[in-house]
Amino acid sequence: MLDVIRSLVIPGTSKIVLLSLDGLGGLPRPETGRSELETARLPNLSALAAEAACGLIRHVAPGITPGSGPGHLGLFGYDPLAYQVGRGVLEALGIEFDLRGGDVAARGNFCTVDAQGRITDRRAGRIPTEVCVKLTDRLRSIRLPGVEVLVEPVQEHRFVLVLRGAGLSGRLSETDPQALGTPPLPVRALEPAAAHTAELVNAFVEEARKRLTDAAPANMVLLRGFDRLPELPRFPDVYGLRAAAIAAYPMYRGLAKLVGMDVIKTGKTYAEEIATLREHWQAYDFFFVHYKDTDKAGEDGKFDAKVEALERFDGFVPAVRDLGPDVLVVSGDHATPSILAAHGWQPVPVLLWSRYCGADPVTAFTERACAAGTLGTLPAHHLMPLVLANALRLTKFGA
Amino acid sequence: MLDVIRSLVIPGTSKIVLLSLDGLGGLPRPETGRSELETARLPNLSALAAEAACGLIRHVAPGITPGSGPGHLGLFGYDPLAYQVGRGVLEALGIEFDLRGGDVAARGNFCTVDAQGRITDRRAGRIPTEVCVKLTDRLRSIRLPGVEVLVEPVQEHRFVLVLRGAGLSGRLSETDPQALGTPPLPVRALEPAAAHTAELVNAFVEEARKRLTDAAPANMVLLRGFDRLPELPRFPDVYGLRAAAIAAYPMYRGLAKLVGMDVIKTGKTYAEEIATLREHWQAYDFFFVHYKDTDKAGEDGKFDAKVEALERFDGFVPAVRDLGPDVLVVSGDHATPSILAAHGWQPVPVLLWSRYCGADPVTAFTERACAAGTLGTLPAHHLMPLVLANALRLTKFGA
């Protein structure tokens, strides 16, 4: 489908803004029967919904709860079932590591082993991040034949290992036995083509062990979530857009970078993100702007905090509209209902405003109201083609 | 998709009940403009609908009327177009024959042939079932090289033939010429891989002819609807559920067994089925409970009887809710509109209740009301992932 879209793209000068509220969707609080969106006072979003086409988007499939990776790939127009991103890759993206196509990434833990090499603490007593930084320096000096070894600290006992080179595979078993009293497991190839990568990883672990003998409690490593970075079609190439990402959190910058968007430097607050949007308005055609507070409150199970986060977001809508976008989309990467205190599988409200979006009866930006919108319930990756069409950037199919 | 679901399943203690009303959906009676569901007094289903997420499910594809096999496979989460079950297999399931993967089954008829072997009665004068039982005993003694020959009486002139062995194919033509005055046709292979099976079946027919020469009017057999039992992923394995089926009719027990559910012994009435549900509440995580009366009334074209069947069902809803299921689903395997007096292609109402189902505006369990529900109109096989999600038995996709 991306190839079809690519073949229909025509140049244009229209401006597109995608405002993504992380964990946007919610569920009714039993006491009131109203969801976070239904509880919040959202005058600007309601007014926008009244002028927009509304609906619900589903990022993966019915009943499937999206992680942040699949949630964003869906928003960016990639079918998350066709482009799967593993946990090692996500950990690397979370620290904005510059992953390249073909790289194999793993989540690493420093751990403690006894004199017989048996694990006594899988997290090395959660060493301070400064110690982690020093020890990853030691690991960086490890050399393996034919590949580059990249090691980056994350936080406390966690680090990222990346192997870069030709012909690597991420289909590897984990070294973490998820239990104490036994030594780390050797990595096994889960497909024949992974045999060489498995040898390299086992050599790395052996070298790491030698370099860490005097570093107790962090005297060994565990590796999990091996994955190869999928070769994703580049967003700017597929859609013919100069695309910019504005996000205060590294994970979302990493995901945008993964599809080839320009990641613009911004501050830590949403006000700073909106200022960044304004400053770069002329330089790009497409802006992905990420809002984190809704997800944070939802994950913490704080219904009222999520309501407040929605109301704060609502206050920024006029500033975005003042820029005069041709297409304005408001949606999210997944639901985070406060009563679940976790990501949810529920479809997420979406509104799409443009001069050509068509009328629909929805006048409130809520789960229930959007369910009756003219966009219906659609896979998230069907949104980008609709966005491009509304930006008059697609020619007809079959002349 | 089943593999994706399987990879996300996590253990849990939640209880799921799927109440299936056979032939649930209907159509308005022209005199009143109201369907069976819209005519019936259903206080308990209405109350449940008001708390649940509602929608319509489509079991095969738009405009396609599901038979009982595809209808139930859809409910159980299997795409009926990907897992096709032929008529011979369904006939075997209808008598609860213990079919195994790779078995080839056919519907058999005893018929009457004249001295020249030409068919004079395709149903052998509808011989009594006792005669059928005796004659199938004779056919059971037939031996074929390399396969087991299994023959079971059904009713009157009808029986089931099953061949069990390696490398069999169900892609065979039928022996019934659907006409009088001509001899039965030899079986032909409809694909090269079926050549050997065709030889075996033709040898069976020849042996049957010899064993039945003195059994007029049932002095020959006709075979139709050859099919191989598909290798279906097992429901308890895919979904990580201890799954039980409670059904008074053998066909539905057979379909549940086909996907690996435990079939629990029960009585002939729905009251007995509900008592069975209560007795086995602790032993299982998932219960499929089948209600037949709605379909029977619909097939007979009896609108009022179908209304009464719906009202009787409604009376059992409180007893099910009293058990305290975490997820309660009410739906059906296909529509049987009374004005059609047959299965219909119309999508079927569904309601899904759980603590996390989300609010929707639907307050009545009818075709028209459910069309406006937040579940929308969805393929029936998308229901099981939603059910698992609501039972908190799926982890997120892509961390």
pLDDT string in tens for chain A (399-residue length): 899 999 999 999 999 999 999 999 999 999 999 999 999 999 999 999 999 999 999 999 999 999 989 999 999 999 999 998 888 898 898 888 988 888 999 999 999 999 999 999 999 999 999 999 999 999 999 999 999 999 999 989 999 999 999 999 999 999 999 889 999 999 999 999 999 999 999 999 999 999 999 999 999 999 998 998 878 899 999 999 999 999 998 889 989 998 999 999 999 999 999 999 999 999 999 999 999 999 999 999 999 999 999 999 999 999 999 999 999 999 999 999 999 999 999 999 999 999 999 989 999 999 999 998 999 999 999 999 999 999 999 999 987
Q: Look up residue B281 and give its DSSP letter.
A: G
369-388 in chain B: CB under 8 A from chain A: 372, 374, 376, 378, 382-388
A313-338 b/e with 16+ CB inside 10 Å = b?
A: bbebbeebeeeebbbbbbbbbbbbbb
Q: Extract long-range pairs of B50-53: CB within 8 Å, 24+ residues apart.
A: B50/B362, B50/B363, B51/B353, B52/B328, B52/B351, B52/B352, B52/B353, B52/B357, B52/B360, B52/B362, B53/B351, B53/B352, B53/B353, B53/B357, B53/B358, B53/B359, B53/B360, B53/B373, B53/B374, B53/B375
> How crowded is the C-beta side of A231, counted as CA atoms within 13 Å?
2
**Is A104 part of a structural domain of the chain?**
yes
**Is B395 part of a structural domain of the chain?**
no
Whether A79 and A108 share a structural domain: no
Whether A116 and A253 share a structural domain: no
CA dihedral of B66, B70, B73, B75, whole degrees rounded to 10: 0
**Is B38 part of a structural domain of the chain?**
yes
Q: Does A173 touch chain B (CB under 8 A)?
A: no
Whether A239 and A384 share a structural domain: yes
Instruction: Among A228, A255, A274, give the residue marking a domain's end.
Output: A228
**Is B200 part of a structural domain of the chain?**
yes
Of A63, A66, A371, the CB nearest to B398: A66
Of A28, A60, A377, the CB nearest to B397: A60
% of residues, chain B, pLDDT over 70 = 100
Whether B291 and B369 share a structural domain: yes
Mean pLDDT of B286-304: 97
Contacts of A226 in chain B (CB under 8 A): none
Residue B394 to residue A69, Cβ atoms within 8 A = no
Of A62, A87, A344, the CB nearest to B399: A87
Contact of A127 with A241, CB cutoff 8 Å: no
Specify the pLDDT at position B399: 65
Residue showing tokens 């074929």: B144
Residue B372 to residue A368, Cβ atoms within 8 A = no
Q: Does A345 touch chain B (CB under 8 A)?
A: yes
The range of the structural domain enclosing residue B69 comes to 2-83+232-390
Whether B76 and B105 share a structural domain: no
Contact of A277 with A287, CB cutoff 8 Å: yes
Whether B220 and B237 share a structural domain: no
Of B374, B389, B394, the CB nearest to A371: B374
Whether B293 and B341 share a structural domain: yes
**Is A398 part of a structural domain of the chain?**
no
> Could you count the other beta carbons within 10 Å of the beta carbon of residue A207?
17
Contacts of A39 in chain B (CB under 8 A): none
Q: Does B129 touch chain A (CB under 8 A)?
A: no
B135-173 b/e with 16+ CB inside 10 Å = b?
A: bbeebeebeeeebebbbbbbebbbbbbbbbbeebbbbbb
Q: Please, what is the average pLDDT of chain B?
A: 95
Residue B382 to residue A67, Cβ atoms within 8 A = no
Q: How far is A91 from chain B, CA to nearest CA, in Å?
A: 9
**Residue of chain B minimizing CA distance to A66:** B397
Of B361, B372, B396, the CB nearest to A65: B396
Confidence at B99, pLDDT banded by 50, 70, 90: confident
> Which CATH number is B43's domain given?
3.40.720.10
Instruction: Among B202, B228, B254, give the residue marking a domain's end.
Output: B228
**Is A136 part of a structural domain of the chain?**
yes
pTM: 0.87
Confidence at B1, pLDDT banded by 50, 70, 90: confident
Contacts of A230 in chain B (CB under 8 A): none
Residue showing tokens 């069975």: B276
SS3 A192: helix
Question: Rounded to whole angstroms, how far apart are CA atoms B15 and A24?
Answer: 29
Q: Does A64 touch chain B (CB under 8 A)?
A: yes
Residue A65 to residue B388, Cβ atoms within 8 A = no
**Is B72 part of a structural domain of the chain?**
yes
State how many domains chain A has: 2
Question: Rounded to whole angstroms, how far apart are CA atoms A197 and A195?
Answer: 6
Whether A98 and A179 share a structural domain: yes
Contacts of A87 in chain B (CB under 8 A): 399
Q: Does B210 touch chain A (CB under 8 A)?
A: no
Q: How far is B166 from chain A, CA to nearest CA, in Å?
A: 29
Whether A220 and A239 share a structural domain: no
Q: Look up residue A233 and give its DSSP letter.
A: P
Best of A345, A366, A368, A381 to mutate (most B CBs within 10 Å, chain B): A345
Q: Does B355 touch chain A (CB under 8 A)?
A: yes
Specify the pLDDT at position B329: 98
Q: How many CB pairs under 8 A join A and B?
A: 94
Whether B12 and B149 share a structural domain: no
Q: Does B361 touch chain A (CB under 8 A)?
A: yes
Residue B395 to residue A65, Cβ atoms within 8 A = yes
Mean pLDDT of B330-358: 97
Residue B397 to residue A80, Cβ atoms within 8 A = yes
**Is A147 part of a structural domain of the chain?**
yes
Whether B131 and B178 share a structural domain: yes
Best of A339, A346, A367, A381 to mutate (most B CBs within 10 Å, chain B): A346
Contacts of A69 in chain B (CB under 8 A): 398-399
Instruction: Among A189, A208, A228, give the residue marking a domain's end.
Output: A228
Whether A118 and A200 share a structural domain: yes
Q: Does B260 touch chain A (CB under 8 A)?
A: no
